[in-house]
Amino acid sequence: MSAVDANNVPALSRGVLAQDNTDASTAWADIMGEIGAASEKQSNGIDPVARAVAQTGSGCRFFA
C-alpha cells in the first residue's frame, strides 16, 4: 500500500492493520525464541553423544 493509499484508509482499518503488524511481530519474536531454545537443546544433546562416541572409540582401540 502506498503512502497516498494509506491516507484514504479509514482510521479503524489503519488500527486493524497496525494490530496485524503487532500480531505478526509478536509471532515472529515467539518463533525466534523457540528456534533459540531448540538450538540450545540440540547443543546440549550433542555433547553427551560426542562423549559417548569418543568413549566407544577409545574402548574399541583398547580391546583391539
Report the pLDDT value the prediction gives residue 54, as an integer from 0 to 100.
Answer: 85
Per-position pLDDT tens, the chain of length 64:
454 555 666 655 666 677 777 888 888 999 999 999 999 888 888 888 888 888 887 666 655 5
C-alpha cell at 52: 559417548
Question: Taking CA 12 as the corner, what is the angle to CA 22 and CA 14, rounded to the nearest 5 degrees?
Answer: 50
Cα 55 to chain centroid, rounded: 33
Report the pLDDT value the prediction gives residue 29, as an integer from 0 to 100.
Answer: 92
Report the pLDDT value the prediction gives residue 25, as an integer from 0 to 100.
Answer: 87
Place of cell 525464541: 33
Strand, helix or coil for residue 9 = coil
